[in-house]
Amino acid sequence: MTPPGSASASPSARTAPPGPDRRLGDGGALRTLLPYLWPEGQPAMKVRVVLALACLVLAKLANVVVPVLYKGAVDALAGEGKADGLAAQAAATPVLAIPLGFILAYGLARVLNLGFGELRDAIFERVSQRAMRAAALTVFRHLHGLSLRFHLERQTGGLSRVIERGTRAIDHLLGTMLFNILPTLFEILLVTAILWRLFDIRFAAATFITVAGYVVYTVVVTNWRTQVRRRMLDADTKANARAIDTLLNYETVKYFGNERFEAERYDKALHVYEDAAVRTQTSLSLLNVGQGVIIAVGVVTVMWLAAAGIVEGRLTIGDFVLVNTYLLQLYQPLNIFGFVYRAVREALNDMETMFELLTVAAEVRDRPDAKPLVTRGGELRFEAVDFAYDPRRPILKGVGFSVPAGRTVAVVGPTGAGKSTLSRLLYRFYDVTGGRITIDGQDIREVTQDSLRAAIGIVPQDTVLFNDTIAYNIAYGRPGADRAELERAAAAAQILRFVQTLPDGWETQVGERGLKLSGGEKQRVAIARTLLKDPPILILDEATSALDTHTEREIQAALKEASRGRTTLVIAHRLSTIVDADEIIVLDQGRIVERGTHAGLLARGGFYAALWRSQQDGTAPETAAEPETVA
């Protein structure tokens, strides 16, 4: 099933920036959910849905028969009855036999009601859980398909909370609406028809008006409360996101001694949530009081009609019991109707928020006719590439160079020159705004993203690891690799000896974002992960920036060996690491200002030579460039 918003881009629309978020509404959320409950190509799930609905109807039919059987038993014991109906049949049978039959039938109806209800839940549980799983997986995949810009602009804590609440909402919605609200409405119609048939329209009208008034009041007040609760949920999401953000940056908080500042920010967010929660509870109390008044008026009215009928001789004691039993039986689910409806509204809101993520279009999408990338050596070409995160401030301006297959080209320059942007464009995290990038003559916008990224390996400057074992993080480069392959990659990255000295070895947990490892250890894990992937194209983005001089020399030798035979693009700050590159590209403010070999550039005595001297002297290079941003 194709999720909304995931359709392929037209051939002419190469880049489609995500539009503003829009609300789906209850109807849109339910329409999005329906395919998960009635999945195409899964007849077993459809059979379960039909059987569950059949059990629901049978359970309610058994339930509405219970008061009739109860009335028959009471009238038989009291020796009363009308000229027609069940009580008339009871008059021709010994009094001790008839109540026993009614009592046994009463017990059987109760058992059938319970049995069909439990069978319904058991049959439908697989459908419910499968729908939750499929919906969560669809949203998860869609989030991975969205642009880097989207994820940089959203807080991870808030997104995880939206998915968690949305998935849970599906279960709540199915449990309350499908097996509570709809069956209750069906039972109300049955009871109204029975009261009309057994007595007169006044009983049916009083019951129906009471129920209708209750439902209308509940819907109106709950819809008002929904806005109040939405503000509470927004406050909750922001407070949670703020807490996660500050905990993820625990070390930074400690470095600057800002524990009190972060606590005050978190307290402000909690204060907003506190006020919203109080308003939510106050509105709930108002709803409950109104519902109680409506139910009380309805019960008194119907009971008064029944009592008047007995006094006039038109009704029996059994009729009074019948009416009373129906009211108790009917108002019992109505008593929780407010809670159920609120749960439905809340579930719809949470589910709507989650499904709205599917309406966010991917900024970079495969063309309909995109084909897998075919590598024949891995020659890279940047042809007059222009790019800007914000149209008002260009980052790259007519950048053009090539990396011949199997050769190494380094890109250097001051901070903000646009170096790291090159790797983002090569991975198609963004599409160029001018020019093109090719691999072996193929425009990367015309091939599938999966095949493109499978051909590229990267060792990034900022290495972030999964909160799992060292083995898992290295094996992430090629899931399914055996232990011998992991060891070879780790040895090439100069980390095998370190792993073998750890008490838990390969099963050592690295912690959240790899915080249990040093910067150099994390970098070596990243290098091992990329070497295990064994791609034809290699990007080293400040790959040794976190290493000490001794370790850097060791890893430089390993990287040089690993890049042999591969097309390698090195993005470097330390010029000493790229002296052996086949060509060095010097960027400044988004333009190529120099290019050549290390020796040639030094002999020229230009921008590169100045950078080299400043690093050798330990002084910072002068630059007017601003840092790269993605705003």
pLDDT in tens, 104-143: 888 898 899 889 888 988 888 888 888 888 888 888 888 8
The pTM (predicted TM-score) of the whole model is 0.63
Please tell me the predicted confidence (pLDDT) of residue 139.
Answer: 84
- The least confident of 274-278, 284-288, 453-457, 550-554 is 550-554
Please tell me the predicted confidence (pLDDT) of residue 228.
Answer: 80
| CATH code 3.40.50.300 region(s) in the chain | 380-617
Label residue 621 by pLDDT band (50, 70, 90). Answer: very low
How far is the first Cα of the chain from the last one, in angstroms, to the nearest whole number?
Answer: 33
- Is residue 138 within 8 A of residue 39, CB to CB? The reply is no
- Is residue 213 within 8 A of residue 190, CB to CB? The reply is no
Domain 25-359 top-level CATH class: mainly alpha
CA 497, 501, 507, 512 dihedral sign is negative
- Is residue 470 within 8 A of residue 508, CB to CB? The reply is yes
Longest dimension (CA), the chain: 122
Pairing of strands 567-571, 537-541: parallel
Q: What whole-number distance in Å separates Cα of residue 214 and Cα of residue 14? A: 54
Please tell me the predicted confidence (pLDDT) of residue 279.
Answer: 84
Residue where the block lists tokens 């790259």:
396
Label residue 153 by pLDDT band (50, 70, 90). Answer: low
More confident residue, 226 or 372: 372
Label residue 289 by pLDDT band (50, 70, 90). Answer: confident
Q: Give strand pairing partners of 443.
A: 438
| CATH code 1.20.1560.10 region(s) in the chain | 25-359
pLDDT for 554 beyond 70? no
Best CA proximity match to 199, nearest among 334, 90, 310, 105: 310
Residue where the block lists tokens 């790019």:
387
Torsion on CA atoms 615, 616, 617, 619, rounded to nearest 10? 10
Cα–Cα separations (whole angstroms), residue 561 to 220, 408, 457: 71, 12, 15
CATH topology of domain 380-617: Rossmann fold (3.40.50)
Write the pLDDT tens digit of every residue in 45-83: 889 888 988 888 898 888 888 888 877 777 777 765 443
Which residue type is seen at 524?
A: R
- With residues binned 3-state (H G I as helix, E B as strand, rest as coil), the percentages for the chain, rounded to 5, are 65, 10, 25
- Is residue 45 within 8 A of residue 130, CB to CB? The reply is yes
- Is residue 528 within 8 A of residue 495, CB to CB? The reply is yes
The helix or strand, by DSSP H or E, that contains position 45, with its residue range, turns out to be helix 43-78
Structure tokens given for 391: 């149209």
- Is residue 405 within 8 A of residue 377, CB to CB? The reply is yes
pLDDT for 26 beyond 70? no
Best CA proximity match to 431, nearest among 15, 140, 73: 15
Look over the chain and give the mean of its residue pLDDT values, rounded to a whole number.
80
Please tell me the predicted confidence (pLDDT) of residue 338.
Answer: 65
What proportion of the chain, given as a percentage, has pLDDT over 70?
86
Q: What whole-number distance in Å separates Cα of residue 51 and Cα of residue 615? A: 75
What proportion of the chain, given as a percentage, has pLDDT over 90?
16
Q: Give strand pairing partners of 399.
A: 385
Q: What whole-number distance in Å separates Cα of residue 300 and Cα of residue 323? A: 12
Please tell me the predicted confidence (pLDDT) of residue 94.
Answer: 47
Write the pLDDT tens digit of every residue in 455-513: 998 888 777 888 889 999 999 888 888 999 999 888 888 888 899 998 989 999 888 77
Write the pLDDT tens digit of every residue in 579-609: 888 999 999 888 999 999 999 999 998 899 9
